[in-house]
A and B are shown apart, each in its own frame.
Chain A
Amino acid sequence: MVDVLAPLAIFVLMLAVVYVVTGPLRRGAMSQTEAREESDRQNLEAARDAKYREIRDAELDKETGKLSEADWRVLDRELRGEAVEILRRLDELDGR
């Protein structure tokens, strides 16, 4: 029984691996443009989240006394401007 099971299991494993790996070659992957747009969108969303984190960090630095009010205002304006630019680029991708 084991003698039959082992080759069968190997065959099934090979079949599964070949099926998984060759899937995109058989079906064709997402088009270059679609892939680029999706990648750009996700990169911009990650950049937006990082920028929001920076804005919050700066705000917390001001609240905990590490940044003066004047320094924070300059920094906050700069960071929010950068966040707006990222959102604008995201909207462009969405065709708004």
Chain B
Amino acid sequence: MPILGRAALIIALAVCAYGIFAAIYGAVTGRRAFIESARRSVYALAIATTVAFVVLELAFLRSDFSFAVVSGHSSTTTPWYYKASAMWSSQEGSLLLWVWLLSIWSSLVIFLTRNRLRDVVPWATAVLLGYGAFFAALLVFKVSPFETLSPAPTEGAGLNPLLRHPAMMIHPPMLYSGYTLFAVPFAFAIGALITKRVDAEWIRSTRRFALGAWLLLGIGILLGARWSYNELGWGGYWAWDAVENASLMPWLTGTAFIHSIMIQEKRGMLKVWNVSLVLATGILCVLGTFLVRSGILDSIHAFGASTLGVPFVTLIAGMSLGSIALVVWRRGILRSEHKLDSLLSREAIFLLNNLVLVALCFVVFWGTFFPLISEAITGEETAVGPPWFSRYTVPLALLLVLLSGIGPLIAWRRATPRNLRKTFAFPAGCGLVALVAMLFIPGVPQKPLAMIMFALGAFVIGTIAQELWRGTSARRAMTGEAAPLAVVSLVRRNRRRYGGYFVHLGIVFMFVGVAASSAFQHAEDRRLQVGQSTTVNGYDVKYVRSTATFQSDPSKTGAMLTLGAVLDVSKDGKHIATLTPGRGYYSSSNANDGLFEQLINGEPTSEVALKTGPMRDFWTAVAPDFTKLQPLVDAIDKGLGQNENMTQDGLLRGYVAGLTAFTEAYKQSPPPAMFRIISSPMVMWIWIGALIAIGGGLIALWPAPDAARRRATANLKARVAQDLSRA
């Protein structure tokens, strides 16, 4: 039903165009019926894009190769769960996912604010539908996911083998949810500026969406890191790749935003800063989407060159100029209601934290676009690598961790030296003890930046522990609750605060994990024969035997052939682990190669073997050397190509016989293989920290009990006290 999908997208575009008109007309004339109609246009957009999404998803699940996009990105041999997620491996499918998620989140916010912010909502609706119109127009006019092939091929090209990983099934929906959710505060900021409603109301209405965007974008980034660590075969989780950086930039400014809006909510300060941050975040989200699609920067994650550059650049330029013009136009009403009382205040620390986050974003932006900048200036494209990024981001990250410990301990408005002594004694002691302890661990003092990160981590953990202890003690003194119940009550009554603390705790664990695994990693590339051993960081690794399977891929990725190794890892004669790294092979369509050579020289992917633990990860990948087996490959291909009149069945039988002979030969007299072996400390803490941070984010996101449902009849002052005692 490609025609239904195409029609749904055209309807979506028409609905957006009408909705934008109705929203603006309603806002300008005050005609509520048009504003309501515009609101319903957002729901209609969700209906239309859902239909298009379902049509395409069904085509993937049914392996309907009459759809060009299905033929290009799936196959009958692709496992069903990868068929389901193959849609977003394509340019067209991922754009459809983008606009579908946008329509869902937009519908949610427009529904939740149906009776609030009556001046702002129509403009926000117009902006959200503007986003929808842009992406729907791309799908209708530029890259239709409903292009058809006639006659339909009997088999598709299959999903890119690198994307056959569980993290990659969820990574794009998470990332795009983050991007599209950030469109919500962006749209409301525009509405607030146009209608001069720049108090904290638009922030209160969209805070959860900003937090949700931050959380989901963060989860998307982490899934990408996890995929990189487990699938790409180089052993790292972050490479400062252009596309990785593209998702990190809005996350950084979004982090700054969810901190600084607290200052506007409490003190009416930083209005210019907040609208600028959220407008920048919205623009960076579109920039991130653009970078993956344009092919202007080299990246393993990008879709390659495309024709989408001009529309995206036009959109980004329009958003940037429009945002700047709006902020300048409304600068008069964006003045702060209060001044900064003291540099020793939470406002000041949050402001400093914001500056560090924006500086980090600028560093990432500069490094990412440096190839384009250098080409524009010198005519030569020069890229900067991880050492360049580390030079600037590491000191900023250290400062950020320090501030994440100081911020929660300082009072709003002004802290007194007595307060500071009282609140900082214990956490500072934790940091100092950790620093001294590190001095006695061999090798650690040689890595001073890592050592400082560990000490700062201990400082932050000290602040959080102290906050929880003091809060729980106060709660117990007031209510007499048992300690575990008091902790739960404390967190439940102050979700934003303690959710935030858990996020800080998780982030600290992650930073400590990154510092340890970066500073103390041992990586070796070794060529080994079966029976040979090597030593990496004191661990003995022995290549025990080779493995080879076909059509029964142990990783369930649909690989035709999997070659691997059994490695025995021991330390000081004690067995530590048996690891079985492998390499999956998928046929290419290179017509110059023989049928069997297409498989061997096709698209191999690493199936990493990992012994993971809280103190150390032992990571291995294997790449077999086929030189010795090349004569056999040539012989198989010669056999397959000898009889031109061979039937499909005969060809298949010959192919299977060739695979059997090859795998037996690989097992019986295995050729040498290249092994990448990495011993990396504390990587697990990155993932544990991520889970803690996600848990904290969910606590902060969880709605408080609805005060509106409470019944109170006492006088006003007593009602305030009564309401406060309930939640």
Question: Does B bind A?
Answer: yes
What is the interface of chain A, defined by CB distance below 8 A to chain B? 2, 5-7, 9-10, 13-14, 16-17, 20-25, 28-32, 35-36, 38-39, 41-43, 45-50, 52-58, 60-61, 63-68, 71, 75, 80, 83-84, 87-88, 91
When the two chains form their complex, are residues B115 and A6 in contact, meaning their CB atoms are under 8 A apart?
Answer: no
Q: Is B471 an interface residue (CB 8 A)?
A: yes
User: Which residue of A14, A20, A83 is within 8 Å of B720 (Cβ)?
Assistant: A83
When the two chains form their complex, are residues B474 and A63 in contact, meaning their CB atoms are under 8 A apart?
Answer: yes
When the two chains form their complex, are residues B3 and A60 in contact, meaning their CB atoms are under 8 A apart?
Answer: no
User: Which residue of A23, A48, A50 is within 8 Å of B40 (Cβ)?
Assistant: A23
**How many Å lie between the Cα of A10 and that of B51 in the bound state?**
10
User: Which residue of A13, A48, A57, A87 is within 8 Å of B7 (Cβ)?
Assistant: A13
When the two chains form their complex, are residues A66 and B115 in contact, meaning their CB atoms are under 8 A apart?
Answer: no
Closest CB pairs A-B (n = 3)? A24-B36, A63-B474, A29-B32
**How many Å lie between the Cα of A63 and that of B469 in the bound state?**
11
CB distance from A18 to the nearest CB of B (A): 8
Interface on chain B toward A: helix, strand, loop, or mixed SS? helix
Q: Is B719 an interface residue (CB 8 A)?
A: yes
When the two chains form their complex, are residues B118 and A65 in contact, meaning their CB atoms are under 8 A apart?
Answer: no
User: Which residue of B3, B118, B411, B720 is within 8 Å of A35 (Cβ)?
Assistant: B118
Offer 7 A-B interface pairs, CB within 8 angstroms, sorted by A: A6-B4, A14-B11, A16-B44, A17-B48, A30-B36, A80-B717, A87-B716
Closest to A79 in B: B720
When the two chains form their complex, are residues A20 and B411 in contact, meaning their CB atoms are under 8 A apart?
Answer: no
Chain B 33-57 interface 0/1 with A at a Cβ cutoff of 8 Å (1 = within): 1111100110110011001000000
Residues of B within 8 A of A66 (CB): 409-411, 415, 419, 423
When the two chains form their complex, are residues B44 and A17 in contact, meaning their CB atoms are under 8 A apart?
Answer: yes
Residues of B within 8 A of A58 (CB): 412
Residues of A within 8 A of B467 (CB): 64
When the two chains form their complex, are residues A30 and B32 in contact, meaning their CB atoms are under 8 A apart?
Answer: yes
**How many Å lie between the Cα of A29 and that of B26 in the bound state?**
11
CB distance from B584 to the nearest CB of A (A): 37
Residues of A within 8 A of B4 (CB): 6, 9-10, 13
When the two chains form their complex, are residues A20 and B43 in contact, meaning their CB atoms are under 8 A apart?
Answer: yes
Q: Is B8 an interface residue (CB 8 A)?
A: yes
* Total interface residues in chain B, CB < 8 Å: 62
When the two chains form their complex, are residues A88 and B716 in contact, meaning their CB atoms are under 8 A apart?
Answer: yes
Residue among A17, A35, A63, A68 with the highest chain B CB neighbour number at 10 A: A17
Q: Is B494 an interface residue (CB 8 A)?
A: yes
**How many Å lie between the Cα of A65 and that of B720 in the bound state?**
24
Closest to A57 in B: B497
**How many Å lie between the Cα of A6 and that of B8 in the bound state?**
11
Q: Is B201 an interface residue (CB 8 A)?
A: yes
When the two chains form their complex, are residues B724 and A52 in contact, meaning their CB atoms are under 8 A apart?
Answer: yes
In chain B between 690 and 727, which residues have their CB closer than 8 angstroms to a CB of chain A? 704, 707-708, 716-717, 719-720, 723-724, 727
When the two chains form their complex, are residues A29 and B33 in contact, meaning their CB atoms are under 8 A apart?
Answer: yes
Closest to A40 in B: B118
Residues of A within 8 A of B37 (CB): 21-25
Q: Is B537 an interface residue (CB 8 A)?
A: no
When the two chains form their complex, are residues A13 and B41 in contact, meaning their CB atoms are under 8 A apart?
Answer: no
When the two chains form their complex, are residues B716 and A17 in contact, meaning their CB atoms are under 8 A apart?
Answer: no
When the two chains form their complex, are residues A24 and B204 in contact, meaning their CB atoms are under 8 A apart?
Answer: no
With known contacts A63-B471, A66-B411, A39–B115 Cβ distance under 8 A: yes
With known contacts A43-B117, A84-B716, A87-B716, A25–B470 Cβ distance under 8 A: no
With known contacts A29-B35, A63-B474, A80-B720, A20–B40 Cβ distance under 8 A: yes
Residues of A within 8 A of B415 (CB): 66
User: Which residue of B19, B118, B416, B419 is within 8 Å of A36 (Cβ)?
Assistant: B118
With known contacts A5-B1, A45-B708, A21–B423 Cβ distance under 8 A: no
Residues of A within 8 A of B204 (CB): 46-47, 50
Q: Is B667 an interface residue (CB 8 A)?
A: no
When the two chains form their complex, are residues A13 and B11 in contact, meaning their CB atoms are under 8 A apart?
Answer: yes
When the two chains form their complex, are residues B200 and A50 in contact, meaning their CB atoms are under 8 A apart?
Answer: yes
**How many Å lie between the Cα of A2 and that of B116 in the bound state?**
45
With known contacts A9-B4, A43-B116, A61–B35 Cβ distance under 8 A: no
**How many Å lie between the Cα of A49 and that of B708 in the bound state?**
9
Residues of B within 8 A of A57 (CB): 494, 497
When the two chains form their complex, are residues A32 and B708 in contact, meaning their CB atoms are under 8 A apart?
Answer: no
User: Which residue of A9, A25, A55 is within 8 Å of B1 (Cβ)?
Assistant: A9
When the two chains form their complex, are residues A16 and B47 in contact, meaning their CB atoms are under 8 A apart?
Answer: yes
CB distance from B3 to the nearest CB of A (A): 5
Residues of B within 8 A of A50 (CB): 200, 204, 265
Residues of B within 8 A of A16 (CB): 44, 47
When the two chains form their complex, are residues A6 and B1 in contact, meaning their CB atoms are under 8 A apart?
Answer: yes
Residues of B within 8 A of A47 (CB): 201, 204
Q: Is B527 an interface residue (CB 8 A)?
A: no
When the two chains form their complex, are residues B707 and A56 in contact, meaning their CB atoms are under 8 A apart?
Answer: no
When the two chains form their complex, are residues A10 and B470 in contact, meaning their CB atoms are under 8 A apart?
Answer: no
Residues of A within 8 A of B7 (CB): 10, 13-14
Residues of A within 8 A of B166 (CB): none
| Apart from A21-B18, A32-B32, A56-B494: 16 A-B pairs, beta carbons within 8 A | A10-B7, A13-B4, A17-B48, A22-B37, A39-B118, A46-B116, A49-B704, A49-B707, A53-B704, A66-B411, A66-B419, A71-B411, A75-B413, A80-B720, A83-B720, A87-B716
Q: Is B205 an interface residue (CB 8 A)?
A: yes
**How many Å lie between the Cα of A25 and that of B34 in the bound state?**
7
When the two chains form their complex, are residues A29 and B36 in contact, meaning their CB atoms are under 8 A apart?
Answer: yes
**How many Å lie between the Cα of A52 and that of B716 in the bound state?**
13
With known contacts A35-B118, A83-B720, A60–B494 Cβ distance under 8 A: yes
Chain B 440-457 interface 0/1 with A at a Cβ cutoff of 8 Å (1 = within): 000000000000000000
**How many Å lie between the Cα of A55 and that of B423 in the bound state?**
21
Closest to A24 in B: B36
With known contacts A10-B4, A64-B470, A39–B15 Cβ distance under 8 A: no
With known contacts A10-B7, A29-B35, A46-B205, A64–B474 Cβ distance under 8 A: yes
Q: Is B493 an interface residue (CB 8 A)?
A: yes
When the two chains form their complex, are residues B723 and A60 in contact, meaning their CB atoms are under 8 A apart?
Answer: no
**How many Å lie between the Cα of A35 and that of B7 in the bound state?**
35
Chain B 474-510 interface 0/1 with A at a Cβ cutoff of 8 Å (1 = within): 1000000000000000000110110000000000000
Chain B 417-436 interface 0/1 with A at a Cβ cutoff of 8 Å (1 = within): 01100110000000000000
Q: Is B266 an interface residue (CB 8 A)?
A: yes
Q: Is B30 an interface residue (CB 8 A)?
A: yes
**How many Å lie between the Cα of A56 and that of B474 in the bound state?**
13
When the two chains form their complex, are residues A39 and B116 in contact, meaning their CB atoms are under 8 A apart?
Answer: yes
Residues of B within 8 A of A32 (CB): 30, 32
In chain B between 100 and 131, which residues have their CB closer than 8 angstroms to a CB of chain A? 115-118
When the two chains form their complex, are residues B416 and A45 in contact, meaning their CB atoms are under 8 A apart?
Answer: no
Residues of A within 8 A of B411 (CB): 61, 66-67, 71
**How many Å lie between the Cα of A30 and that of B421 in the bound state?**
58
**How many Å lie between the Cα of A64 and that of B415 in the bound state?**
13
